[in-house]
Amino acid sequence: MASGQEHPALLVIDIQEAVLAGCAGVPGMIERINALIGSARRSGAPIVFIQHQDAEGQELTAGSPGWQLVAGLDRREGDPVVAKEYRDSFAGTELGTVLAGTGVRRLVLTGAQSQYCVQTTALSALHHGYDVSLVGDAHTTSPVSLPGGDLTAETIIQFVNSGFGTLSQPGRSNEVVAATDVAL
């Protein structure tokens, strides 16, 4: 288990209609994220929803159907939502301010898309001084076509989990953990 578990926060990254279109295993992933949200609510751990937005006229324009958090996600009135424009949930956002003063030392990350916003935020969190638990079965992505061949979503998810799980950062602790093994 990562150090700093006595002060965790749950980040739910980009669980939005347009972001999840074509992603693998969405219903099960949302079920696992909702279970983590329930655990966080019971323990009093902070929950922060991250919501990507693009410039006006694009698929993720604030207020558009694709920008909306998915139906069935257990977000409640008063839960903080941090708007972002970059893959890094810390870059140009209020995330640091939202977390400041909470005593949080460890971030538990879930969301989409694995190799973009989830991975970038996980790496940035380490650089911002947090320990990180990446929930290996609570992030997803869509398949990617490359000149050398296609990558399935499952392959990308496994690659992100493997890379993050073997990463080391001075003074920081990181892990990849199953949703059922997360302590909030």
Rounded to the nearest 10°, the torsion over CA 108, 45, 88, 149 is: 30
pLDDT value, residue 6: 63
Name the pLDDT band for 147 (thresholds 50, 70, 90).
very high
pLDDT (tens digit per residue) in 76-124: 999 999 999 999 999 999 999 999 989 899 999 999 999 999 999 999 9
Domains of the chain (ranges; CATH) run: 8-181 (3.40.50.850)
Q: Is the pLDDT of residue 3 over 50?
A: no
Rounded to two decimals, the pTM is 0.95
